[in-house]
């Protein structure tokens, strides 16, 4: 029986830690339920936002065990399975397959820079032995980069590889992938991991996203996805500009992904201290981030935990330009975007689309 296509917003969820820096299972389970209740289409544990490198192999397996148990089939799970070498990665794929995940996500080789020819060999070797579907993960700022020819070749020659998560933010690259692969592999999924361009990526034809901000404001990423799918382009554009505000402050407050730990805490979860020691300046920046997020969440009518140093959240105040979102996971939109900003985004997307070379019908 064919597996369902991977599509929608998959949240690369963080892992709450207790006072000793260990996995806080009860809080992780509560966070998983909260994300599902707010409409995420799937979960992506052990991703970059989930700090997979800061956990031991045993902890990574335990995170997937907890996630599978708590999800209980409500949404599909895309489990991060990147280990230090091919042998361990294949063993992890086998273990996660037994747990029943929908697919695994495997990043390009990291630390050592690897040639494109050997990146192909790396993924091919894993695909030949994996009992579970594979999503290849391109994140060039943290691992060896994937080029278009290698991605196309893997999609054409390895049926076990069913999707790509691309976190380059490169819209023309995504469009070229779509044009080259989709006519031959309609089952192949294209996911963007770059939150700042979620809207134009979906507009170009992406099937969904694995977006760090969806772990903090899942209501907004869901609204963008639904609005694009239903043709409500103006609404999706407005929400994208709102998401950009969250994205910039969450990424900009400290080293990635420390801002997202604070962001999840602001939504009411005990996240614990980071496993990465932080300088005084970065701790101060994160304290200021709490105040900024409290204001943004209040403007959007989204709940914020006032006990975590973010101040009291009053009732939503009216502003001059409410938007018309129809997502059941969101209150009436309270932010506003200037006409100049909206026009600029439209022009940027149109300019990129105009540069496309003729290609088979998608």
Indicate the pTM of the whole model.
0.85
Q: What is the CA radius of gyration of the chain?
A: 20
At residue 70, what are phi and psi to the nearest 5 degrees? Answer: -75, -40
Instruction: Identify the pLDDT of residue 316.
Output: 32
From residue 247, how far is each of 220, 252, 314, 342 by CA, in Å? 12, 8, 23, 17
- Distance (Å) of CA 281 to CA 44, 109, 245, 254, 277: 31, 32, 22, 9, 12
**In a structure prediction context, what are the per-residue pLDDT tens digits for the chain, which is 362 residues long?**
578 999 999 999 999 999 999 999 999 999 999 999 999 999 999 999 888 889 999 999 999 999 999 999 999 999 999 898 999 999 999 999 999 999 999 998 888 888 999 999 999 999 999 999 999 999 887 778 899 999 999 999 999 999 999 999 999 999 999 999 999 999 999 999 999 999 999 999 999 999 999 999 999 999 999 999 999 999 999 999 999 999 999 998 888 899 999 999 999 999 999 998 888 999 999 999 999 999 999 999 999 984 543 333 233 322 223 343 445 566 554 444 444 444 455 455 545 444 444 333 33
């Amino acid at each position: 029986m064919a597996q369902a296509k991977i599509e929608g917003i998959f949240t690369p969820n963080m892992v709450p830690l207790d006072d000793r820096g260990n996995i806080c299972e009860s809080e992780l389970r509560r966070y998983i339920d909260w994300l599902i209740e707010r409409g995420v289409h799937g979960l992506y544990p052990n991703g970059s936002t989930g700090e997979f490198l800061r956990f031991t192999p045993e902890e990574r397996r335990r995170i997937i065990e907890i996630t599978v148990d708590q999800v209980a089939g409500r949404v599909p799970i895309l489990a991060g399975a990147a280990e230090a070498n091919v042998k361990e990665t294949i063993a992890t794929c086998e273990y996660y397959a037994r747990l029943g995940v929908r697919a695994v996500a495997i990043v390009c080789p990291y630390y050592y820079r690897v040639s494109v020819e050997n990146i192909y060999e790396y993924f091919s070797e894993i695909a030949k032995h994996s009992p579970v579907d594979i999503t290849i993960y391109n994140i060039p700022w943290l691992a060896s980069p994937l080029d278009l020819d290698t991605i196309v070749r893997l999609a054409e020659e390895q049926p076990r590889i069913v999707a790509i998560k691309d976190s380059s933010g490169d819209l023309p690259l995504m469009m070229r992938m779509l044009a080259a692969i989709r006519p031959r592999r309609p089952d192949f999924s294209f996911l963007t991991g770059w939150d700042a361009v979620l809207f134009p990526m979906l507009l170009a034809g992406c099937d969904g996203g694995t977006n760090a901000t969806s772990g903090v404001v899942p209501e907004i990423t869901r609204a963008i996805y639904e609005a694009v799918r239903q043709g409500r382009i103006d609404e999706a554009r407005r929400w994208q500009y709102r998401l950009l505000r969250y994205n910039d402050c969450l990424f900009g407050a400290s080293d990635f992904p420390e801002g997202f730990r604070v962001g999840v805490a602001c939504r009411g979860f005990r996240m614990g201290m980071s496993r990465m020691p932080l300088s005084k300046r970065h701790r101060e920046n994160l304290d200021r981030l709490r105040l900024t997020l409290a204001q943004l969440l209040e403007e959007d009518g989204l709940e914020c935990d006032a006990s975590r140093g973010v101040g009291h959240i009053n009732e939503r105040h009216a502003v001059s330009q409410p938007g018309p979102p129809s997502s059941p996971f969101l209150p009436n939109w309270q932010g506003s975007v200037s006409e100049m900003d909206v026009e600029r985004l439209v022009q940027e997307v149109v300019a990129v689309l105009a540069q496309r070379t003729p290609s088979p019908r998608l």
